[in-house]
Structure 1
Amino acid sequence: MTVWDRPEPPTRPVLLDRERIVAAAIALADEGGLEAVSVRKVAARLDAGPMRLYRYISTKEELFDLMVDEVQAEILPEGQPVDWREALRVLAQRTRQAALRHEWLADLLGGRPTLGPNGLAVAEATLAAFDARTDVDTVMRAVETVSAYFIGAIRREIANLRAERTTGLSKHDWQRAHGPHVSTMLATGRFPALAKAVHDGTDVDAETSFETGLDWVLDAVATRLTRPPM
């Protein structure tokens, strides 16, 4: 039985429910990451005994599932996308936006899907945008392909943001600090392709990089979806 299937116990003597527990856990994670979340810390924030929380959740993993599903409500599109391309673009963009608000989400993306009501609603809105005549296996591979792209891109972006906070160096500060070493290595002539990328490549911001990569992946998926059946 999943956490969503189990009935909640009575709230007395301290007003408590899964909604308040999840809200407290998300607040802790927003402040200090997933490592800041524990049943004891959530209970302390709610002024309740830790054992009481175990009447609502069985494990920390269940708590994480509930947290992810709560954030899925932020990812759910405001209206039904008009086609599959818009659906996948909205899914990618809104997931990125949610992860920038809740950086811990990046650590939980890509695993087994959560089965909460919001997560199921996001999946339904995405899949429903595909032409009903499209083979379901093709649809699933399309969703998996785009998801693999944006999950990886989001994790990289969040990792860079964390590195900036940890080191105190912005991207450009880091590049300047390591510039002499890179220049020395490129001057050896051993890395001509890398040298061309460094000297001739255009530096773009994270959002531009994300949107460009997303367009390329969607174009590739479109080619597969429009290919005539064998």
Structure 2
Amino acid sequence: MTVWDRPEPPTRPVPLDRERIVAAAVALADEGGLDEVSLRKVAARLKAGPMRLYGYIATKEELFDLMVDEVQAEILPEAPPGDWRETLRVLAHRTRQTVLRHEWLADLLGGRPTLGPNGLAVTEARLAALHGLADIDTVLRAAETVSAYTTGAIRREVANLRAERATGLSKSDWQRANGPHVTRMLATGRFPALSKAVHEATHVDAEESFEAGLDWVLDAVAAKLARP
């Protein structure tokens, strides 16, 4: 029986429910990452005994599932955005924005799909946008491809943000610090393609890069959908 199917225990002194437990866990994760989340710390924040929480949540993994589902509600737009391409674009951007608000979510994306109501609703929105445009296998591959790009790009962005905090160096500071080494390596002539990219390419910020990559993925999906 999943955590969503299991009934909650009766109310006792110091009122608890899964909604309050999950809200406290999300707040802890927002403040310090997933390492700050434990049933003991959640119980302390709610001024309840740790054993009380086990009536509602059996394991930390269940708690993580509930946390992911809670914030996935932020991905869903209030109204359908439009055609399939605009719908997938909006869902991708809202996923990125949600992860930037809840950075810990990047560590829990990309595995098995979450089975909570919000996670299922996000999946439904992706598939519904493509419904009727191709056979179901093509629809599934298209949705998975856009989702895989979105997850990978977001994880890379979050990794860079964490590196900046860990080193105290912004992207430009890091580039300046490592510039002499890179210059020496490029001067060997062993990396001509990389040298061209370093010296001639237009360097864009994370949002511009995300948008450009998403456009390319959506173009590829459109080409697949256009095939007989």
Could you tell me the TM-score, scaled by structure 2's length?
Answer: 0.98
List aligned pairs for 1:75-114, cutoff 5 A: 75-114=75-114
Q: Which residue of 2 aligns with 1:128?
A: 128
1:133, CA displacement in angstroms?
5.1
Q: Which residue of 2 aligns with 1:4?
A: 4
Instruction: Encode CA deviations 1:8-57: one digit per residue, 9 max, x unaligned.
Output: 11121111000000000000000110011001010111111111101000
Q: Structure 1: which amino acid aligns with 2:142?
A: A
Q: Which residue of 2 aligns with 1:158?
A: 158
Q: Secondary structure of the equivalent of 2:94?
A: helix
Q: Which residue of 2 aligns with 1:202?
A: 202
Structure-2 separation of matches of 1:194 and 1:125 = 39
1:212, CA displacement in angstroms?
0.2
1:24 aligns with 2:24: yes
Query: How big is the alpha-carbon RMSD for the aligned residues of Structure 1 and Structure 2?
Result: 0.9
Q: Structure 2: which amino acid aligns with 1:177?
A: A
1:129, CA displacement in angstroms?
1.8
Structure 1 residues without counterparts, runs of 5 or longer:
none
CA contact (8 A) 1:80 1:129 kept: no
1:83, CA displacement in angstroms?
2.1
1:122, CA displacement in angstroms?
1.4
Q: Structure 1: which amino acid aligns with 2:171?
A: K
List aligned pairs for 1:51-66, cutoff 5 A: 51-66=51-66
Q: Structure 2: which amino acid aligns with 1:58?
A: A
Q: Structure 2: which amino acid aligns with 1:214?
A: L
Structure 2 residues without counterparts, runs of 5 or longer:
none
Instruction: Encode CA deviations 1:57-110: one digit per residue, 9 max, x unaligned.
Output: 011010000000001100012112322212211111000000000000000000
CA contact (8 A) 2:133 2:225 kept: no
Structure-2 separation of matches of 1:216 and 1:178 = 31
CA contact (8 A) 1:77 1:122 kept: no
Percent identity reads 82
Which segment is superposed worse, 120-129 or 180-189? Answer: 120-129
CA contact (8 A) 1:103 1:158 kept: yes
Could you tell me the TM-score, scaled by structure 1's length?
Answer: 0.97
Q: Which residue of 1 aligns with 2:39?
A: 39
Query: Where has structure 1 moved over 4 Å in runs of 4 or more?
Result: none
Q: Which residue of 2 aligns with 1:172?
A: 172
List aligned pairs for 1:133-144, cutoff 5 A: 134-144=134-144
Structure-2 separation of matches of 1:104 and 1:185 = 36
Q: Structure 2: which amino acid aligns with 1:71?
A: V
